[in-house]
């Protein structure tokens, strides 16, 4: 499913709807070139969840956790890692909710993951003409048509 994102606000709005709709345990794999809008989308998700703290990309910290909203938001950025390093992070504890309250797990540079969760939503962002963007949303074992109907 492709969505045209005319400007930053359109990207934020898509994130807001996702943040209002998604259920605990949802993993969002964010793919796309440098500057494609991944962090912007997560900022929208944060707004949709009711998080007022500002969301900045966890490039150095790897993960930022926000617990102020409707459900927790775990924001990861794998840009600086190699797949083997990612494998050592034990990311599955986030989506399996082991010792962690289930929430939304949003992963930038998900291309770096050597394995994926059993079910996930994938948002691939790409550049259009005139600096706009396009989102291509796909999913594995998660009901995208139901989601799309809500957003």
Ligand X SMILES: Nc1ncnc2c1ncn2[C@@H]1O[C@H](COP(=O)(O)OP(=O)(O)OP(=O)(O)O)[C@@H](O)[C@H]1O
| Nearest-approach distance from CB 135 to ligand X, in angstroms | 9
Nearest by Cα to 60 from 43, 77, 41: 77
The window from 16-24, 30-38, 64-72, 114-122 that contacts ligand X (CB under 6 A) reads 30-38
| Nearest-approach distance from CB 57 to Mg ion, in angstroms | 4
Residue 120 bridge partners (DSSP): 140
| Nearest-approach distance from CB 143 to ligand X, in angstroms | 26
Q: Tell me which of 132, 136, 138, 144 binds ligand X, using CB under 6 A.
A: 132
Nearer CB in complex with Mg ion: 22/78: 78
The answer to the question of residue 31 lying near ligand X (CB under 6 A) is: no
Rule CB under 6 A: which of 36-95 touch ligand X? 36-40, 57
Q: Tell me which of 20, 57, 119, 132 binds Mg ion, using CB under 5 A.
A: 57
User: Which residue has 């996930």 as its token pair?
Assistant: 120
Nearer CB in complex with ligand X: 24/35: 35
The answer to the question of residue 101 lying near ligand X (CB under 6 A) is: no
**SS in 3 state form for the chain?**
CEEEECCHHHHHHHHHHHHHHCCCCCEEEEECCCCCCHHHHHHHHHHHHCCCCCCCCCCCCCEEEECCCCCCEEEEECCCCCHHHHHCCCCHHHHHCCCCCCCEEEEECHHHCCCCCCCEEEEEEEECHHHCEEEEEEEECCCHHHHHHHC
Instruction: Summarize as ranges the residues that interact with ligand X (CB under 6 A).
Output: 5, 7-8, 10-11, 32, 34-40, 57, 108, 131-133
């Amino acid at each position: 499913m492709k969505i045209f994102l005319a400007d930053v606000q359109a990207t934020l709005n898509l994130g807001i709807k996702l943040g209002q709709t998604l259920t605990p345990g949802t993993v969002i794999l964010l793919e796309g070139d440098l500057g494609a809008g991944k962090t912007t989308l997560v900022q929208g998700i944060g707004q949709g969840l009711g998080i007022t703290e500002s969301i900045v990309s966890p490039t150095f910290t790897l993960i930022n956790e926000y617990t102020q909203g409707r459900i927790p938001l775990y924001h990861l950025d794998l840009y600086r890692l190699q797949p083997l390093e990612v494998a050592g992070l034990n990311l599955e504890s986030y989506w399996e909710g082991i010792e962690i309250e289930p929430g939304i797990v949003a992963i930038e540079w998900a291309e770096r993951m050597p394995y994926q969760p059993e079910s996930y939503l994938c948002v691939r962002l790409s550049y259009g003409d005139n600096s706009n963007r396009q989102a291509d949303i796909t999913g594995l074992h998660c009901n995208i048509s139901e989601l799309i109907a809500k957003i």
